[in-house]
Amino acid sequence: MPHYDFFQNKECEYFPCHQNADPETFSCLFCYCPLYALGEHCGGNFIYTENGIKDCSACLRPHKRECYAQITEKLGDVINLVKKE
């Protein structure tokens, strides 16, 4: 098993930052989800608030070691959002 796909910062005052998260398996590697900008195409468990803000507080996808490859595979989609044509 690789070691680059998981990181924890148990000293962080917000650790773990999601309710119902298992602190033993919670990864902080993607503290801020790199797929947030993909909106409804991120593949995570989210809702939009009444104000149109994306609420990812119920999503643990970027914090699971087994989702590392899925997250990094979609980074090309994020790059395409900001790529100049």
Cα 63–Cα 69–Cα 72 angle in degrees, nearest 5: 85
Query: pLDDT tens track of the chain, all 85 residues?
Result: 789 999 999 999 999 999 899 999 999 999 999 999 999 999 999 999 999 999 999 999 999 999 999 999 999 999 999 887 6
Show me where the domains of the chain are located: 7-85
With CA atoms as reference, report the closest residue to 44 among 34, 52, 53: 34
User: What is the pTM for the complete model shown?
Assistant: 0.86
Name the residue among 39, 69, 70, 44 with its Cα closest to residue 58: 44
What pLDDT is recorded for position 2? 85
